[in-house]
Amino acid sequence: MEPRHSRHIKPGLFIWMASLPFIPIILAAASSCDFPAIFNFGDSNSDTGGLSAAFGQAPSPNGETYFHHPAGRYSDGRLVIDFIAESLGVPYLSAYLDSVGSNFSHGANFATAGSTIRPQNTTQSQSGYSPISLNVQSVQYSDFKKRSQIIRSQGGIFETLQMFPDILGQFSDVVTQIYAVGGRTFWIHNTGPVGCLPYSLDRLKEAVGQLRKDLPQAAITYVDIYSLKYTLITRAKEFGFEQPFIACCGHGGKYNFNSQRRCGAKITVNGTEVVIASSCKDPSLRIIWDGVHFTEAANKWIFEQIVNGSFSDPPVPLKMACHGSKHP
């Protein structure tokens, strides 16, 4: 299917937001900070319907807080990418893989839950990882761009420390590829605190430093998501949250999480399906939604901290990201 409304696509903000298997980045291909479109790459941290379109909808109670029905997101409501879109006056991103009701006039979302930087050698059912890894998302974007131009012209998980250098190499390659086709502003997030080692963060900073040397016309901003999420979890009560390690939606165990019975899981009792992994009474008071992903309330809090540049190096607000380190 050809991208709908693709004739109106303009250079805009390129985002790569993800959790542990990814290193999130934001890139802008514009000379000013007017971002008419967003193109997002990543995993479940920013998937707005990709995996659901490919393998079946994220089940209820996902989406209950804001959308009031499953909306392709692994959260009770909006994700950080949704708040970014709102702040820039751009509609929520349609998933590239979703052919139903999609509108790509303001960008596209290539993220799918479970995606990784390195291609996987197992199926989604075997490992839980999405086959739509970073290299596939990059190919999808390239194809999307080419086909959009044609239509317009017609008027119509870190297993070992040893793997980390390879991951950073592939990450740098993608940044370089996007730079080669016009990307000039990069907003790069480090990873969250769960399972993340300072060694990894230092390697990422080194990679960012090297990219600044290799891509002299790029404005690169490094965002310290690690410190931000660590602060939220360790000082949860101070920010109005409770039980920071216990999932809102889940079943059993110390942390209300069972990998075999995740959020929305059902069992059959006397011939009737019964939901055994439902949401907590008030998701707005929780940080963790389903043992893996954040609640809408936590996502909103994170967005409010990063949007003004407080956790960025240099401290550049999102709307000034096209200036990056060049900004005074």
Spatial contact of 81 and 93, defined as CB atoms under 8 Å apart = yes
The tokens for 166 are 């390879």
Task: Tell me which of 106, 148, 290, 312 is the catalytic residue.
Answer: 290
Closest residue by Cα to residue 299 from 128, 68, 59, 47 = 47
Spatial contact of 175 and 211, defined as CB atoms under 8 Å apart = yes
Q: Coil, strand or helix: which one is 19?
A: coil
Cα–Cα distance between 276 and 285 in angstroms, integer? 21
Spatial contact of 226 and 195, defined as CB atoms under 8 Å apart = no
Q: Which helix (H) or strand (E) holds 220?
A: strand 219-223
Per the annotation, the verdict on 34 as an active-site residue is no
Rg of the chain in Å (alpha carbons): 19
Per the annotation, the verdict on 130 as an active-site residue is no
Closest residue by Cα to residue 297 from 236, 250, 255 = 236
Task: Tell me which of 6, 19, 44, 102 is the catalytic residue.
Answer: 44
The tokens for 148 are 């959009």
Spatial contact of 143 and 151, defined as CB atoms under 8 Å apart = no
Task: Tell me which of 19, 293, 312, 323 is the catalytic residue.
Answer: 293
Per the annotation, the verdict on 44 as an active-site residue is yes
> Distances in Å between the alpha carbon of 72 and those of 42, 46, 112, 186, 298?
14, 10, 10, 27, 18
Question: Which positions are catalytic?
Answer: 44, 290, 293
